[in-house]
């Protein structure tokens, strides 16, 4: 049963989740038409103007196409491309949020391309001028020209020039700050293990900061509004979550640090860090057990960022997993009744969708125009079905299966079939009936 108190808070969770599902689904509409290009590495430089809410950028890409390709297509959002420099490229044009590059006849399929552009993003970057802050959210192509296909994993170096009093958190490892001749300071971050472009991002502002170390990793917490003592309270369970997910995945965290930034009004996982709504911090200060979204975003560092849906049709492997894992952490930390009430809430969302005649396969042929209930299915039916699978298999076999799957596909793209096969090998039994009934 869902108590009124739980229900009210849960609605907060659902509202938050809906916010970022909305964002993710829109991005998913774009991804599906990207042509075959394999980007090995990006190096992006951004000059961010917080007052004018615009940026000037240039990105250097090293990428590969089929040697017979005549065209190379990248995602460019609403940026305005000023120049493209490359010996491979004959001409370029922008059309429907794509940058279409015509290739020279003599190219060999390996390209080094420098693109200079300007952007005044209406999405993809949120500017908070009254707080001298900005942060990126999902639409990487609105601030960096890239390939948004989740199956393309690349290294990325991010350099952001800012006024000297501001700081910056971005994907990867912090390399350093360097003063520039124009009085600005360049902040350099480097993601040296390949990751999908939708996980690249940054947060800019004046932050209070708390740092702790845990099992050989650094955990950093940032916010403008909260003191280090409040940050300690808000993030008191992060270290335990970290150990819990590591154990469940059977794989270590892949970077030296994990950063959480309380800023603005979104929740989003990025590679090596997450942004969380400022108001959520206040909610946790009232009730320290309200940790679902911290857990959800941290779980994505394994299920989502490292084990990534091959295309958005298998998005439930990112979102159903992160949603389920936050309930599993609650069970570990706060006891089985907390887990059960989370699962009951997921089930309730799912049953409402079913009652409305909107129940569908968790695997989408076409994620081009997902409805609100499609998005809810991916998160909440996805998490509920993982719970049912746990009941079907029993705890030892279920958790061994999750670990075997996570280890096998760590750092790779996955389909639902991959998940099913990994579980079948792990448990030594056919799960076809279960997958047919609940997933396909």
47 binds Zn ion (CB under 5 A): no
- Cβ-based nearer residue to Zn ion, 14 or 431: 14
377 binds Zn ion (CB under 5 A): no
Runs of H (alpha helix) within 335-410: 336-355, 372-376, 382-393, 395-409
In the complex, least distance from residue 379 CB atom to Zn ion, rounded to whole angstroms? 7
Q: In whole angstroms, what is the distance from residue 104 CA to residue 97 CA?
A: 23
137 binds Zn ion (CB under 5 A): no
275 binds Zn ion (CB under 5 A): no
In the complex, least distance from residue 183 CB atom to Zn ion, rounded to whole angstroms? 39
- Cβ-based nearer residue to Zn ion, 234 or 298: 298
Structure tokens given for 219:
């955990």
Sheet holding 273-276, edge to edge: 208-214, 217-223, 257-262, 273-276, 268-270
- Cβ-based nearer residue to Zn ion, 231 or 322: 322
Please return the burial class of 343, using the count of CB atoms within 10 Å of its CB with bins 0-12, 13-18 and 19+: buried
In the complex, least distance from residue 27 CB atom to Zn ion, rounded to whole angstroms? 12
- Cβ-based nearer residue to Zn ion, 319 or 418: 319
In the complex, least distance from residue 28 CB atom to Zn ion, rounded to whole angstroms? 13
- Cβ-based nearer residue to Zn ion, 270 or 322: 322
Compute, in degrees rounded to 10, the torsion defined by CA atoms 273, 275, 281, 283: -120
231 binds Zn ion (CB under 5 A): no
Kindly indicate which of the ranges 137-145, 201-209, 249-257, 321-329 contains the residues binding Zn ion, using the contact rule CB under 5 A. 321-329
Residues pairing with 72 in the sheet: 101
Sheet holding 185-196, edge to edge: 80-85, 110-119, 54-64, 38-49, 153-162, 185-196, 173-179
The neighbour count for residue 346, using CB atoms within 10 Å, is 26
- Cβ-based nearer residue to Zn ion, 99 or 325: 325
Closest among 198, 201, 203, 202 to 75, alpha carbons compared = 198
Q: Judge contact between 199 and 271, C-beta under 8 A.
A: yes
Q: Judge contact between 72 and 63, C-beta under 8 A.
A: yes
349 binds Zn ion (CB under 5 A): no
Residues 9-38 that bind Zn ion (CB under 5 A): none
- Cβ-based nearer residue to Zn ion, 34 or 322: 322
In the complex, least distance from residue 21 CB atom to Zn ion, rounded to whole angstroms? 8
Structure tokens given for 135:
């942060």
Closest among 199, 202, 226, 276 to 19, alpha carbons compared = 276
Closest CB to Zn ion belongs to which residue? 322
In the complex, least distance from residue 302 CB atom to Zn ion, rounded to whole angstroms? 12
CA distances, 92 to each of 71, 85, 284 (Å): 9, 10, 49
CA 171-45-61 angle, to 5 degrees, is: 85
Kindly indicate which of the ranges 89-97, 121-129, 322-330, 356-364 contains the residues binding Zn ion, using the contact rule CB under 5 A. 322-330
In the complex, least distance from residue 372 CB atom to Zn ion, rounded to whole angstroms? 16
362 binds Zn ion (CB under 5 A): no
Torsion region of 170: left, alpha or beta (phi above 0 gives left; psi -120 to 50 gives alpha) = beta
The count of chain residues that interact with Zn ion, using the rule CB under 5 A, is 2
Q: Judge contact between 420 and 405, C-beta under 8 A.
A: no
- Cβ-based nearer residue to Zn ion, 136 or 426: 136
Structure tokens given for 341:
């009430």
328 binds Zn ion (CB under 5 A): no
In the complex, least distance from residue 322 CB atom to Zn ion, rounded to whole angstroms? 4
299 binds Zn ion (CB under 5 A): no
134 binds Zn ion (CB under 5 A): no
- Cβ-based nearer residue to Zn ion, 58 or 305: 305
- Cβ-based nearer residue to Zn ion, 159 or 319: 319
From candidates 146, 263, 322, 422, binder to Zn ion by CB under 5 A: 322
Kindly indicate which of the ranges 190-198, 308-316, 320-328, 381-389 contains the residues binding Zn ion, using the contact rule CB under 5 A. 320-328
Q: How far is CA 413 from the centre of its chain?
A: 14
Q: How far is CA 23 from the centre of its chain?
A: 11
309 binds Zn ion (CB under 5 A): no
Q: Judge contact between 101 and 34, C-beta under 8 A.
A: no
In the complex, least distance from residue 128 CB atom to Zn ion, rounded to whole angstroms? 22
Question: Residues in the site for Zn ion, rule: CB under 5 A?
Answer: 319, 322
């Amino acid at each position: 049963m869902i108590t009124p108190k739980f229900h009210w808070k849960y609605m907060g969770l659902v509202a938050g989740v809906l916010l970022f599902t909305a964002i993710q689904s829109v991005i998913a509409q774009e991804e599906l038409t990207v042509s075959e290009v394999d980007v090995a590495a990006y190096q992006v430089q951004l000059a961010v103007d917080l007052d004018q809410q615009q940026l000037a950028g240039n990105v250097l890409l090293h990428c590969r196409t089929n040697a017979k390709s005549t065209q190379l297509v990248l995602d460019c959002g609403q940026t305005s491309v000023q120049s493209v420099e490359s010996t491979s490229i004959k001409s370029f044009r922008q059309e429907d949020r794509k940058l279409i590059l015509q290739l020279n006849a003599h190219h060999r399929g390996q390209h080094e391309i420098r693109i200079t552009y300007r952007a005044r993003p209406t999405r993809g970057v949120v500017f908070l001028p009254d707080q001298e802050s900005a942060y990126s959210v999902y639409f990487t192509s609105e601030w960096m020209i890239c390939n948004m296909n989740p199956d393309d994993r690349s290294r990325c170096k991010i350099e952001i020039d800012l006024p000297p009093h501001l700081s910056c958190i971005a994907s990867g490892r912090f390399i350093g700050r360097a003063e520039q001749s124009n009085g600005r300071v360049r902040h350099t971050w480097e993601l040296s293990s390949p990751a999908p472009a939708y996980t690249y991002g940054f947060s800019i502002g004046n932050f209070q900061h708390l740092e702790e170390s845990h099992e050989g990793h650094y955990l950093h917490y940032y916010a403008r509004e909260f003191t280090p003592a409040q940050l300690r309270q808000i993030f008191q369970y992060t270290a335990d979550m970290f150990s819990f997910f590591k154990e469940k995945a059977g794989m270590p965290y892949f970077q030296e640090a994990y950063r959480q930034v309380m800023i603005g009004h979104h929740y989003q996982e990025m590679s090596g860090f997450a942004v969380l709504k400022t108001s959520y911090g206040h909610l946790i200060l009232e009730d320290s057990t309200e940790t679902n979204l911290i857990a959800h975003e941290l779980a994505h560092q394994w299920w989502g960022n490292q084990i990534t849906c091959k295309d958005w049709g298998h998005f439930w492997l990112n979102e159903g997993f992160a949603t389920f894992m936050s309930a599993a952490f609650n069970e570990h930390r706060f006891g089985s009744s907390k887990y059960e009430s989370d699962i009951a809430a997921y089930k309730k969302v799912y049953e409402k969708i079913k009652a409305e005649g909107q129940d569908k396969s968790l695997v989408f042929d076409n994620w081009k125009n997902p409805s609100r209930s499609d998005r809810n299915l991916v998160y909440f039916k996805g998490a509920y079905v993982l719970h049912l699978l746990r009941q079907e298999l029993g705890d030892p076999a279920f958790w061994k299966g999750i670990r075997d799957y996570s280890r096998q596909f760590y750092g790779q793209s996955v389909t639902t079939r991959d998940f099913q096969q990994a579980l079948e090998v792990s448990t030594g039994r056919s799960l076809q009936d279960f997958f047919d009934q609940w997933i396909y």
